Amino acid sequence: MYAKRSFDIILAFLGILFLLPLFLIVSVLIIMDSNGGVFYKQIRVGRNMVDFELLKFRTMYLNSDRRGLLTVGSHDARITRLGYWLRKYKIDELPQLFNVLKGDMSFVGPRPEVNKYVALYDAQQQQVLSVKPGITDWASIAFSDENELLEQSDDPENFYIKEIIPSKIIKNLEYINKHDIWVDLTIIFLTLKKIMIR
């Protein structure tokens, strides 16, 4: 296995350095757009069931997550005007570079889930918790339209639990069983391509 941690540190450091002007601009815009802080922090489940604080740019109005964990559709009323654009181009995810630098996450790996849904995993599904979670993975690419899929469902949360989570975990397990630097670079490239197509 290649030196994944070294790869993560170098890429995260260079990413933060290169994107620092964008971080500053987005921070100012968020403050101007709505009341509240710049960042949104949420407890997610990491490697070996260890919780950590995932960092994002805030895209919702304050305390909106109390009305549900899932974002349904592209125009969820809880999302701010600026938040819509930050989410569309995945800019809200960029602060997770700090999670990677800290060691809570990897650049590529299964997306971290909240405790509520991890508690529903069976023994096989829990294998996704044997590696560090990532900013992107095969499942992120396959389900880039997840919010739209949820919007089409009569019961979004049940659809998420019964259909989306199992499908994502299958792809996550495939990644865990077969990955190297070339797989990681391919996933990063395809993720950027998906964002650019948007």
- pLDDT tens for 130-186 read 999 999 999 999 998 888 888 888 888 899 999 999 999 999 999 999 999 999 999
The residue range of the domain holding 52 is 4-197
Residue 18 amino acid letter: F
pTM of the model: 0.90
The per-residue pLDDT of the chain, averaged, comes to 92
Q: pLDDT tens across 25-57, in order?
A: 999 999 999 999 999 999 999 999 999 999 999
39-45 vs 51-57, strand pairing mode: antiparallel
Owner of token pair 């560090």: 132
Beta strands (DSSP E) in the chain are 39-45, 51-57, 106-108, 134-136
Calculate mean pLDDT across residues 91-116.
97
- When pLDDT is averaged across residues 83-94 and rounded to a whole number, the result is 93
* Beta partners for residue 84, in sequence order: none
* Tokens found for residue 9: 């540190």
What is the percent of the chain where pLDDT is above 70?
Answer: 94
Local structure of 60: helix, strand or coil: strand
Q: 122 is written with which tokens?
A: 């069976």
> CB within 8 A of 72, min separation 6: which ones?
147, 150, 151, 156
In the prediction, which pLDDT does 160 show?
92
Please give the tally of structural domains in the chain.
1
Lowest-pLDDT range of 14-18, 78-82, 145-149, 162-166: 145-149
